[in-house]
Structure 1
């Protein structure tokens, strides 16, 4: 009788091994759930970035305000009959003028 009990206990342990430590076991499922959560978080960040870029594309296609803003700040362009004034801080060097003599 004791032999049968030991054999059944051993069989029970052998059946439980794949459930806990096997390829599709509970420990592996926990690891995969963490990976899925990280991937979903990354995807949400990418969705927000894509929405922002899509909004910017629509602004550039539909309105002239965004184009004008980019031209002003990135290309330093000004409108006709407009005066450009740049204020330098104390630690910034003065720009060289064309008529300055060394």
Structure 2
């Protein structure tokens, strides 16, 4: 099955494009400005192990091979870890299935 799935880079690209399109409507204006101003130095989009909490958000068991989680945010310069997460996205890796669910940062 994995030969027909989107690559890691493709999943990250899709997630980032969706994030950029939807962020102004789903994040506080200050967060959008912060992300935009600091993305070149500290911004990151990374595919991580799919969180165990996704079934409660999407209403179905998430197949970790068919879906991937991408986190988008800013990296802490001291720890070199993504610590200011603006969105978590669950993306289908199947090219024909246009599924994405986003959990937005809430203060």
Q: TM-score range by the shorter chain?
A: under 0.3
Higher strand content, 1 or 2: 2
TM-score norm. by structure 2 comes to 0.23
TM-score norm. by structure 1 comes to 0.24
Higher helix content, 1 or 2: 1
Q: In terms of Rg, which structure is larger?
A: 1
